[in-house]
Amino acid sequence: MAQREKGEALATEARAMRATVAALAELEEMGLAALRERYRELYGEEARSKNLPYLRKKLAFRIQERAEGGLSPRARARLVEIGPAELPVKVAPKRTVPAPRPVEARVPAKDRDARLPEAGTVLVREHNGLAHEVEVRAESFRYRGKDYRSLSAIAKEITGTAWNGFLFFGLTERGSHGR
């Protein structure tokens, strides 16, 4: 009788593993709307991202977590024990660093956006543990030796998803519309 129960348990586990593999494979075929809907089902809230690879990874993690049961009680207890104060902080605050320039170079252009710092300023933004420096120029922005027409293009280059450049580099706050 014990042999039969063991066989049934293995068959049940195999079915669960096949269902998990099928659910993970299904993610690769889903478009943005379907991924966002699945995110809402699995997390109980709207996805903030529209980045397909990110959503697929996040959903795959949740599917596997549910199939395998998540963290062990011992791991959960350890997390509570060490508390959030001891967790490493990875992201540095946003900051701007003005570069020295002659006074003549600091005259703003007529059509220049008032939110932009003066030409010569270096914007520093940390993302995923890496510091990204962008030099503000009179008519463009220089990032990694290449000129860009907008901060949004650079933010997209860094993150892989569309961002408001002023917001990403801390030159404006979410919800402010002033120019």
Q: Model confidence over 48-64: pLDDT tens digits?
A: 889 999 999 999 988 88
Tokens of 134: 């962008």
**Which residue range forms the structural domain that includes residue 16?**
2-84
Q: Is residue 42 part of a domain?
A: yes
Mean pLDDT of the chain: 81
* Amino acid identity at 56: R
Residue 173 lies in a domain: no
| Residue 159 within any structural domain of the chain | yes
Using left for φ > 0, alpha for ψ between -120 and 50, and beta otherwise, residue 172 falls in beta
Q: Are 167 and 127 in contact (CB under 8 A)?
A: no
Consecutive H or E run containing 95: strand 95-98
Is 100 a member of any domain? yes
Look at residue 85 and give its three-state secondary structure. Answer: helix
Cα 22 → chain centroid = 26
Per-residue pLDDT reduced to its tens digit, 141-162: 999 889 999 999 999 999 999 9
Do 80 and 107 lie in one domain? The reply is: no
Domain tally for the chain? 2
Helices (H), the chain: 2-29, 32-43, 52-68, 73-82, 151-159, 165-168
Q: 77-126 pLDDT, tens per residue?
A: 887 787 765 444 444 455 555 555 544 444 455 577 888 888 888 999 88
Please check whether residue 179 lies inside any domain of the structure.
no
pTM listed for this prediction: 0.41
CB 147 within 8 A of CB 140: yes
Task: Quote the DSSP letter at residue 149.
Answer: S
Whether residues 32 and 76 share a domain: the answer is: yes
CB of 98 closer than 8 Å to CB of 118: yes
97, 122 Cβ separation under 8 angstroms: yes
What's the CA angle centered on 100, arms 94 and 101, to 5 degrees? Answer: 120
Q: Answer whether residue 175 is part of any domain.
A: no
Residues 61 and 100 in one domain: no
